[in-house]
């Protein structure tokens, strides 16, 4: 199954279509956010083969994927990085004027006393005008794509952590886990501090110690 999946995922025609979709989604998101302040960058990517195979065969997925080529929804995914926490909601609202979401999640640690990955995730239908030619005619393409919205500090924690976790051993030693939690907590704290600075610059007095 692994080989079949690898071959299907890498098929030239399919890859070309995923790339076309990536380009048209990037253009549309850039147009939707044009002129908005505090948007650091917009990027889209097509999922790499190793990442796709890892997800497709992940034994913890319940129920397991019966057709990963169709079901895995972040094969084409985009990310919008914004400066401040308040921009996350604002950008999400803008994007929901362009796309219809089938799922919206605020990824964050399950417990209040924990620090870790935070991001806003949207799974959206691919709008008809952005579908590459023959997208619906094939039966091996996803009907949806993923959008993530996060602050620069959320990203500063998430991206290196993901890279290290991906390349490193499965089980991290307690000391390293604690280091990562500290980075996550610091990123969270930096976002909160920036939120207070933003409030202050908007003329809203908040009860910060330096007030």
Q: Which residues sit at the interface with another protein, rule CB under 8 A?
A: 28, 31-32, 66-67, 70-71, 73, 97-105, 125, 127-131, 133, 136, 142-144
Q: Whole-number minimum distance, CB 59 to another protein, in Å?
A: 18
Specify the residue, 36 or 197, whose C-beta has the smaller distance to another protein: 36
39 strand-pairing partners: 82
Q: Whole-number minimum distance, CB 21 to another protein, in Å?
A: 12
Q: How far apart are CA 34 and CA 113, in angstroms?
A: 37
Could you tell me which residues come within 8 angstroms of residue 193 by beta carbon, excluding any fewer than 6 positions away?
none
Specify the residue, 47 or 84, whose C-beta has the smaller distance to another protein: 47
Q: Whole-number minimum distance, CB 128 to another protein, in Å?
A: 4
Q: Whole-number minimum distance, CB 146 to another protein, in Å?
A: 11
How many angstroms from the chain centroid is the CA of residue 37? 20
Specify the residue, 72 or 82, whose C-beta has the smaller distance to another protein: 72
Q: Whole-number minimum distance, CB 22 to another protein, in Å?
A: 16
Specify the residue, 69 or 85, whose C-beta has the smaller distance to another protein: 69
Specify the residue, 25 or 180, whose C-beta has the smaller distance to another protein: 25
Burial 142-180 (b: 16+ CB within 10 A, else e): bebbbbbbbbbbbbbbbeebeeeeeeeeeeeeeeeeeeb
Q: Whole-number minimum distance, CB 99 to another protein, in Å?
A: 7
Interhelix angle 174-201/85-96, rounded to 10 degrees, is 80
Q: How far apart are CA 33 and CA 98, in angstroms?
A: 10
Q: How far apart are CA 45 and CA 169, in angstroms?
A: 25
Specify the residue, 125 or 208, whose C-beta has the smaller distance to another protein: 125
Q: What is the DSSP string of 5-44?
A: HHHHHT-HHHHHHHHHHHHHHHHHHHHHTTT-TTEEEEEE
């Amino acid at each position: 199954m692994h080989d079949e999946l690898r071959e299907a995922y890498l098929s030239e025609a399919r890859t070309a279509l995923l790339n076309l979709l990536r380009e048209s989604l990037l253009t549309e998101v850039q147009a939707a956010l044009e002129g908005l302040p505090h948007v650091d960058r917009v990027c889209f990517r097509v999922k790499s083969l190793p990442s796709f195979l890892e997800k497709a065969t992940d034994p913890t997925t319940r129920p397991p994927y019966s057709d990963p080529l169709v079901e895995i929804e972040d094969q084409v995914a985009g990310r919008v990085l914004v400066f401040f926490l308040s921009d996350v909601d604002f950008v999400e609202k803008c994007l929901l004027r362009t796309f219809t979401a089938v799922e919206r999640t605020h990824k964050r640690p399950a417990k209040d006393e924990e620090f870790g990955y935070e991001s806003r995730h949207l799974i959206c239908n691919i709008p008809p005008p952005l579908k590459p030619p023959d997208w619906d005619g094939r039966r091996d393409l996803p009907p949806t794509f993923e959008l993530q919205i996060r602050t620069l500090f959320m990203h500063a924690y998430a991206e290196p952590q993901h890279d290290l976790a991906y390349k490193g051993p499965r089980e991290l030693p307690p000391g390293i886990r604690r280091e990562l939690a500290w980075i996550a907590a610091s990123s969270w704290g930096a976002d909160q501090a920036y939120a207070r600075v933003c409030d202050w610059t908007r003329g809203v007095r908040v009860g910060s110690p330096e007030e």
